[in-house]
C-alpha cells in the first residue's frame, strides 16, 4: 500500500501558496483560476499563475468558495432505491445537464425507500443549492422541504414543489389497457405497488377506468413490494384465489379468473411471470403479463415483457433543467413538464384464451 498524501510537507496547498510561487497576490490567483482575469491580469501573469497551480497540484477549497459565494453549484438528487435501474437513468440524465452547467450532483438513495427520507441533508453534508426528488411519497415532502431549498419533484405529487416533471402515466396505463382489450382480454387483474405514492394511484385509476370503458372488468388488485419476490407473491395470490390456476388446489371464490395481469413495474411483472410458470400457466397463451419502466430485467426474462417505456433519462434531464430554472428565478410558468410514454409490445402479451 502506498502512503496517503495527507501528510505532505505543507499540507494541501492554498491560493496563497500558489500566489507565492507565482510571485503575485492571492487575489490574482483567484481571478486567474476563476476565469475572470480577462482584461484585469496580464496574459503572461495569468500563465505563470496557472503554471504554479499545476506544479503545486492546487485545488481550490470548495468549502471556502461556497462559504464566500453563498452557493455551492450543487444539487441533491434523492431517489428511493438503487435496486431498480430506472433511477440510474434518472441520475444519468440529471448529471449530464448539471455538468453542462458546471453543477455538481450528489445522489442520495433514501434508506427508507419511498418512505420519508430521514434528513438527507445531514447525510449528504454537502452545501446544497437545491433538491430534486424522484418518486418519493408525499410524507417525505416535509423533510425535503425542511431545508428551505428549492425543490423539484419527479414522478410524484408535486403540489408542494417549486417545479415538477412527470410521465404521462395515465396515458400509459390507457395504452396498456387498450392493448390488452384489443387482444380480447376482458378480465384483467392489477398487480399493484404496495407503496401508495402518487404515480401508483394515478396508474390504478387510469387502468380501472379504461378497462371499464372498454367493456372489461378489473377482477382483482393485489399489492406487492416493488421486487421480483413481491410480484411473485402478489401474482400467486391473484392466480390461485381467482381460480386461474387449475392445479392450485383451491376452489375459485366466485370471481372469474383474469386472463391478463397488469403489473405496476417490470420487477413485479418478472415475479408474475415466475408465478404463472410455477402454477403451470403459459405466458402469454394462458395469461398475459405487462410491466412498466422498460428496465434491463424486462428483456432478461422469457418471454420478454410487454411494457411501458418511461424516459428515465429524459426525466432526470428535465428535472435538473427545471431546478436550474427555479434557481435563475424563472417565471412561474413552465414549471410542470409532462413526458410522453411509449408502449412496447413484446412476447409476454398475446390474444386472450378463448373459452
Partner DNA sequence: CTGAAAGCGCTTACAG
Name which of 63 and 82 has its Cβ closer to DNA.
63
- Window 31 to 50, contacts with DNA (CB under 7 A): 31, 33-34, 36, 39-43, 45-46
Q: Is 164 an interacting residue with respect to a second copy (CB under 8 A)?
A: yes
Q: Is 267 an interacting residue with respect to DNA (CB under 7 A)?
A: no
Q: Is 35 an interacting residue with respect to a second copy (CB under 8 A)?
A: no
Is 106 in contact with 72 (CB distance < 8 Å)? no
Is 247 in contact with 279 (CB distance < 8 Å)? yes
Closest distance between DNA and the C-beta of residue 48, in Å? 9
DSSP string, 188-252: EEEEEESS--HHHHHHHHHHHHHHHHTT-EEEEEEEE-SSHHHHHHHHHHHHHHTT-SGGG-S--
328 touches which of a second copy, DNA, none (CB within 5 to 8 A by kind)? Answer: none
Measured CA to CA, the distance from residue 237 to residue 355 in angstroms comes to: 23
Q: Is 9 an interacting residue with respect to a second copy (CB under 8 A)?
A: no
Out of 19, 32, 53, 158, point to the residue binding a second copy (CB under 8 A): 158
Rg over alpha carbons for the chain, rounded to the nearest Å, is 27
Q: Is 245 an interacting residue with respect to a second copy (CB under 8 A)?
A: no
Name which of 93 and 150 has its Cβ closer to DNA.
150
Measured CA to CA, the distance from residue 296 to residue 293 in angstroms comes to: 9
Q: 3-state class of 266 per DSSP? A: helix
Closest distance between a second copy and the C-beta of residue 98, in Å? 8
Write b or e for each residue in 164-186: b if 16 or more Cβ atoms lie within 10 A of its Cβ, otherwise e.
bbbbbbbbbbbbbbebbbebebb
Q: Which stretch binds DNA (CB under 7 A): 16-24, 72-80, 210-218, 273-281?
A: 16-24
Q: Is 12 an interacting residue with respect to a second copy (CB under 8 A)?
A: yes
DSSP string, 290-327: E-SB--THHHHSSSPPBEEE--HHHHHHHHHHHHHHHH
33 touches which of a second copy, DNA, none (CB within 5 to 8 A by kind)? Answer: DNA
Residue 163, beta-bridge partner list: 152
Cell numbers given for 342? 411509449
Q: Is 42 an interacting residue with respect to a second copy (CB under 8 A)?
A: no
355 touches which of DNA, a second copy, none (CB within 5 to 8 A by kind)? Answer: none
- Counted residue by residue, the chain has a size of 355
- Window 58 to 117, contacts with a second copy (CB under 8 A): 59, 61-64, 66-67, 72-74, 81-83, 85, 87-88, 91-92, 95, 99, 104-109, 111
Name which of 72 and 170 has its Cβ closer to a second copy.
72
* Footprint on this chain of DNA (rule: CB under 7 A): 11-12, 14-16, 23-28, 30-31, 33-34, 36, 39-43, 45-46, 58, 60-61, 64-65, 67-70
Amino acid at each position: 500500500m502506498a502512503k496517503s498524501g495527507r501528510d505532505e510537507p505543507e499540507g494541501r496547498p492554498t491560493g496563497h501558496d500558489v500566489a507565492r510561487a507565482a510571485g503575485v497576490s492571492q487575489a490574482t490567483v483567484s481571478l486567474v483560476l476563476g476565469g475572470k482575469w480577462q482584461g484585469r491580469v496580464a496574459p503572461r501573469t495569468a500563465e505563470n499563475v496557472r503554471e504554479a497551480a499545476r506544479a503545486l497540484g492546487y485545488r481550490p477549497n470548495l468549502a471556502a468558495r461556497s462559504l464566500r459565494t453563498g452557493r455551492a453549484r450543487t444539487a441533491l438528487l434523492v431517489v428511493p432505491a438503487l435496486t431498480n435501474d430506472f433511477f440510474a437513468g434518472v441520475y444519468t440524465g440529471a448529471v449530464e445537464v448539471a455538468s453542462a452547467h458546471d453543477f455538481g450532483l450528489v445522489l442520495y438513495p433514501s434508506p427508507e425507500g419511498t418512505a420519508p427520507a430521514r434528513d438527507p441533508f445531514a447525510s449528504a453534508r454537502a452545501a446544497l443549492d437545491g433538491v430534486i426528488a424522484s418518486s418519493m411519497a408525499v410524507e417525505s415532502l416535509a423533510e425535503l422541504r425542511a431545508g428551505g431549498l428549492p425543490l423539484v419533484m419527479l414522478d410524484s405529487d408535486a403540489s408542494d414543489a417549486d417545479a415538477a416533471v412527470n410521465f404521462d402515466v395515465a396515458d400509459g396505463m390507457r395504452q396498456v389497457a387498450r392493448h390488452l382489450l384489443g387482444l380480447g382480454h376482458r378480465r384483467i387483474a392489477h398487480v399493484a405497488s404496495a407503496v401508495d405514492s402518487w404515480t401508483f394511484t394515478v396508474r390504478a385509476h387510469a387502468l380501472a377506468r379504461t378497462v371499464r370503458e372498454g367493456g372489461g372488468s378489473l377482477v382483482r388488485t393485489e399489492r406487492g413490494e416493488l421486487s421480483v419476490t413481491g410480484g411473485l407473491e402478489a401474482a400467486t395470490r391473484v392466480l390461485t384465489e381467482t381460480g386461474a390456476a387449475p392445479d392450485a388446489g383451491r376452489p375459485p371464490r366466485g370471481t372469474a379468473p383474469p386472463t391478463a395481469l397488469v403489473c405496476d413495474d417490470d420487477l413485479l411483472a418478472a415475479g408474475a411471470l415466475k408465478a404463472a410458470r410455477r402454477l403451470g400457466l403459459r405466458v402469454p397463451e394462458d395469461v398475459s403479463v405487462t410491466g412498466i419502466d422498460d428496465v434491463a430485467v424486462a428483456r432478461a426474462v422469457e418471454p420478454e415483457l410487454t411494457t411501458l417505456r418511461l424516459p428515465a433519462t429524459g426525466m432526470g434531464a428535465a428535472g435538473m433543467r427545471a431546478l436550474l430554472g427555479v434557481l435563475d428565478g424563472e417565471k412561474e410558468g413552465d414549471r410542470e413538464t409532462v413526458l410522453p410514454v411509449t408502449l412496447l409490445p413484446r412476447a409476454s402479451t398475446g390474444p386472450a384464451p378463448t373459452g
